[in-house]
Amino acid sequence: MADNYVTLPGVSANHFSTPDAAVLDLAANVWVAARVALDDWTPGSVVAIVAKSNNTGDQRTFLFSVDGSGVLGFRSSSDGTAGTEVTSNSSAAPTVVDRAILWIGAFFDNTADTVTFYTGGAAATPVWVQLGTVPAHVQGALFDSTALATIGATDDPANPLNGKVYRAQLGTVDGGASGLVFDVDFTDATKFDAGVTAFTEPENSLVFTGNGDQWVYVRAALNTAAYQSPDGLWLAGDGNGAYGPSSINPWADLSGNDHHAQLGAAVGAGADDPTFASSPARWVYDGADFHEIADDDFFDLAETDPLTVLVVALLDDRNPSDTNKLVSKKTSSTGAAVGWAVFVAKISGVTGNGGLGGHASDGTDQPTAEAVLMADAGQPFSAAWVRDVSADQIRSYENGVLRDTIADATTATLVNTEALRFGANTQPSEFLDGAILSVSIYKRVLGDGEILTALAALGGAPLGRATSTGLRAARAGVI
């Protein structure tokens, strides 16, 4: 099972912090460690991993970092100024490829005047191995600064981290087996508050709050056969690795610049309805934008593979002039295009709403389960599309209600090499004018009751409302 994590975009002001407290004032020995996956392990400039340092007003205590060449760094000050700051680096860089997970750590021994650097492998529990030689670090007592303790940047903020953070620790004992001051384990989703903006760690109940609007908390799949995004949070995991938001693949941002995450804005046609008084988070698409996940076997359908796709979305136009793809793993709506898709299409001769549904194609036959969309323009709705190979059926639901059932006439594989795309097909065309609030994909059939339960967890049933506890992500280029 893939682990939960926080992804940071490498953009100033996007990090986690907790206020200064007496327990954070470590004058002598310091143990600091983190399990991270940097997008670039040779970042070209200093990247803050864990720190209690603010250059403004000379409030430097310590900074644990990955430096530009990839070596680990530890710097500290005895009076908060740059003048007394001492910097030590590992004599070797960790052996790790970009975007791979690795535990890294450092222990400042105030008595021996040394810093020992470590790597601990990729697993949830580290196995510490000394990294290179042990450099001298003659410092004396560390400065008792008023700086916030931070993860992913300094308190200025400066030196932002671009990548994933799974866990971060600060303590006083080499190796961290005891003496921890804080242990921020982002893999434990229960520690996040209801607003998904803060994390209470267990050692001293320090509350780490997410700063900025471009970080994302990514939860692993609820089971090994689901890519899910409860409460509007994009997330992933198939048991073999995580497809989390990232500045590079497996998420790719290949489109225009107008799609964005929207928080706390009007919902549209339903904005005056108390049902929609609390606006959900959503990805907004302007008819020329999309996101995608690189081709993966999980999303491919063999002739006998079942599939359930759940989407919470809204459209700007209730009967669009062209098909609006919600989720697609095929190049177009033609039967010759192998793959599958969930969409809203214009219905010729029908005044009002378009047709909500989905289709599967083996290159010849393309059965399409489709019914008139009941939601108004700007009103969130939930869609469910099911390929039930045991019953030879394709079923389409709106807000948990079965709307159409047809025979599955496909007789060959639906496997292709296309990406999984949100907001367009893979040409790209058939762009979405509207927003996607949540997506779940199961490699199995969900029954009617399970669909209702799953949509309720997403906030998408029975009224089509997708209540969100908050999405911390934003504009093009950051996921």
- The string of pLDDT tens digits covering residues 438-474 is 777 778 888 888 888 776 655 443 322 222 222 222 2
Please say if the pLDDT value at position 53 is more than 70.
yes
**What share of the chain has pLDDT > 90, as a percent?**
39
Amino acid at 17: S
Domain that holds residue 118: 5-216
Residue 345 lies in a domain: yes
d(C-alpha 249, C-alpha 98), whole Å:
11
Pull the structure tokens for residue 198. Answer: 């803060």
Residues 6+ apart with CB under 8 A from 235: 4, 218, 219, 220, 221, 227, 228, 229, 244
Please say if the pLDDT value at position 380 is more than 90.
no
d(C-alpha 456, C-alpha 231), whole Å:
10
- Alpha carbon distances (Å) from 162 to 70, 153, 214, 254, 346: 14, 10, 11, 19, 41
3-class SS shares of the chain: helix, strand, coil, % to 5: 5, 35, 60
pLDDT at 175: 96
pLDDT tier, 188 (very low <50, low <70, confident <90, very high otherwise): confident
Residue 465 lies in a domain: no
pLDDT at 465: 24
DSSP notation for 170-224: EESSTTSSS-EEEEEETT-GGGB-TTSSEEE-TTT-PEEEEESSS-EEEPPPSST
Please report where in the chains the tokens 């953070």 appear, as a residue. Answer: 165
The mean per-residue pLDDT over the stretch 427-438 comes to 82
pLDDT at 4: 76
pLDDT at 309: 85
d(C-alpha 157, C-alpha 214), whole Å:
14
Residue range 153-180, pLDDT digits in tens = 999 999 999 888 999 999 999 999 999 9
Residue 24 lies in a domain: yes
Whether the full predicted model's pTM is greater than 0.75, yes or no, is no
pLDDT at 9: 76
Please report where in the chains the tokens 């995004």 appear, as a residue. Answer: 229
Residue 477 lies in a domain: no
Residue 464 lies in a domain: no
Amino acid at 268: G
Residue finishing a domain among 216, 232, 262:
216
pLDDT at 319: 78
Residue range 213-238, pLDDT digits in tens = 667 666 543 322 233 333 333 333 22
Q: In this structure, are residues 459 and 312 in contact, taking their beta carbons and an 8 Å threshold?
A: yes
Residue range 289-342, pLDDT digits in tens = 677 666 777 778 899 998 888 888 888 887 788 888 888 899 877 667 899 998
Q: Is 182 found in the same domain as 234? A: no
Residue 131 lies in a domain: yes
The number of beta carbons lying within 10 Å of the beta carbon of residue 173 is 12
d(C-alpha 49, C-alpha 34), whole Å:
7
Residue finishing a domain among 216, 239, 262:
216
d(C-alpha 195, C-alpha 477), whole Å:
25
**What share of the chain has pLDDT > 70, as a percent?**
74
Q: Is 226 found in the same domain as 149? A: no
DSSP notation for 262-303: E-S---STTTTSGGG-SPPPEEEEESS--EEE---GGG---T
Residue 463 lies in a domain: no
Residue 472 lies in a domain: no
pLDDT at 219: 55
Please report where in the chains the tokens 């560390």 appear, as a residue. Answer: 142
**What are 75's strand-pairing partners?**
63, 87
The mean per-residue pLDDT over the stretch 247-274 comes to 29
The mean per-residue pLDDT over the stretch 1-28 comes to 85
Q: To the nearest whole number, what is the mean pLDDT of the chain?
A: 77
Q: Is 103 found in the same domain as 132? A: yes
Rg (CA), the chain: 25
Q: Is 275 found in the same domain as 129? A: no
Q: Is 158 found in the same domain as 70? A: yes
Question: How many structural domains is the chain composed of?
Answer: 2
Q: Is 330 found in the same domain as 199? A: no
Residue finishing a domain among 186, 216, 246:
216
Please say if the pLDDT value at position 74 is more than 50.
yes
pLDDT at 470: 23
Buried b (16+ CB within 10 A) or exposed e, 131-152: bbebbebebeebbbbebbbbbb
Q: Rounded to an integer, what is the distance from CA 169 to the centroid of its chain?
A: 22
272 or 58, greater pLDDT: 58
Q: Is 450 found in the same domain as 306? A: yes
Q: Is 415 found in the same domain as 333? A: yes
Q: Is 275 found in the same domain as 203? A: no
pLDDT tier, 429 (very low <50, low <70, confident <90, very high otherwise): confident
d(C-alpha 96, C-alpha 129), whole Å:
14
Q: Is 297 found in the same domain as 228? A: yes
- From 122, 102, 105, select the one nearest 41 (Cα to Cα): 102
- Alpha carbon distances (Å) from 443 to 223, 297, 352: 11, 11, 34
Q: Is 433 found in the same domain as 306? A: yes
Q: Is 117 found in the same domain as 9? A: yes
- From 376, 345, 379, 341, select the one nearest 360 (Cα to Cα): 341
- The region, left, alpha or beta by phi > 0 then psi within -120 to 50, assigned to residue 402 is beta
Q: For residue 169, give the CATH number of its domain.
A: 2.60.120.200
Residue range 104-154, pLDDT digits in tens = 999 999 999 999 999 999 999 999 999 999 999 999 899 999 999 999 999
Residue range 203-215, pLDDT digits in tens = 999 999 888 766 7
pLDDT at 418: 85
